Amino acid sequence: MKITVVYDNEVREKGLRADWGFSCLVEAEGMPQILFDTGTSGDILLHNMQLLGINTNVIGIIVISHDHFDHTGGLSHILEKNKSAAIYVPASFSKHIPGRNVTPVKEPIPICDNVYTTGQLKGIEQSLVLNTRSGIVLVVGCSHPGVGEIIDAASSYGKVNGIIGGFHEFRDLDRLHGLSLICPCHCTQHAAEIKRRFPEQCLECGAGLVLEL
């Protein structure tokens, strides 16, 4: 399974544009491509996707973590170009998307083979649970329900070995012990401290980062 960071506050590849927000693409053989979140700006999202060689028409599933502008801003641009992707939004999602296959998510459900959602946690946000060769890896938007709470919710699928995404206001770094992959992105205030505490496990995020799992 492969995760490509498309949108982030930082960039890892020349020519890509950094901006406040988050989006990544999840791919695996025999599985529909999954776009997780859409950043703030549709123009920047499409620019980065083009440079990364991502075809918007091939995306089969769009998952929105939560209803904040820096995760939903590019959605309309994607939907203009992709007319067929299934869309999974948290049950609290406020925007109406007429004429599309939209699933409001409240409880944990499968998205496709080896990909699940935690369900909407604390009434605001869902995360992706990936069953990879490296074990269970989480893809999170901002972790508003709490990193620990998300790890606990995902543990029903197996031992969590990795996490990538935003860790908003996260301070309980002990909850990261035992993870083999820690990739703080976007809104993480304590990324430097996480890297200091977990130098072997921590990766620096940025648009263009590719993880092979």
Output the pTM of the full model.
0.96
Q: Is pLDDT at 203 greater than 80 in this prediction?
A: yes
Cα–Cα distance measured from residue 59 to residue 79, given in angstroms and rounded to the nearest whole number: 10
CA 2 to chain centre: 12
Q: Would you state the pLDDT for residue 174?
A: 84
Mean per-residue pLDDT for 172-198? 88
178: left (phi over 0), alpha (psi -120 to 50) or beta: left
Mean per-residue pLDDT for 194-211? 94
Q: Which residues contact 12 (CB under 8 A, 6 or more apart)?
A: 5, 204, 205, 206, 207, 208, 209
Domain spans, the chain: 2-206
Q: Would you state the pLDDT for residue 169?
A: 73
pLDDT per residue as tens digits for the range 124-183: 999 999 999 989 999 999 998 999 999 999 999 999 999 999 998 777 788 899 999 999
Mean per-residue pLDDT for 78-105? 95
Around 155, how many Cα atoms within 13 Å sit in the side-chain half-sphere? 10
What letter represents residue 113's amino acid?
D
Question: pLDDT averaged over the chain?
Answer: 95
Q: Would you state the pLDDT for residue 200?
A: 94
Identify the residue with better confidence: 190 or 164.
164
Q: Would you state the pLDDT for residue 55?
A: 98
Architecture of domain 2-206: 4-Layer Sandwich (3.60)
Cα–Cα distance measured from residue 23 to residue 13, given in angstroms and rounded to the nearest whole number: 15
Identify the residue with better confidence: 108 or 175.
108
Contact (CB, 8 A) for 17 and 48: yes
CA 185 to chain centre: 10
Q: Is pLDDT at 95 greater than 90 in this prediction?
A: no
Q: Phi first, then psi: what are they for 175, rounded to 5°?
A: -65, -15
pLDDT per residue as tens digits for the range 84-93: 999 999 999 9
Cα–Cα distance measured from residue 186 to residue 48, given in angstroms and rounded to the nearest whole number: 16
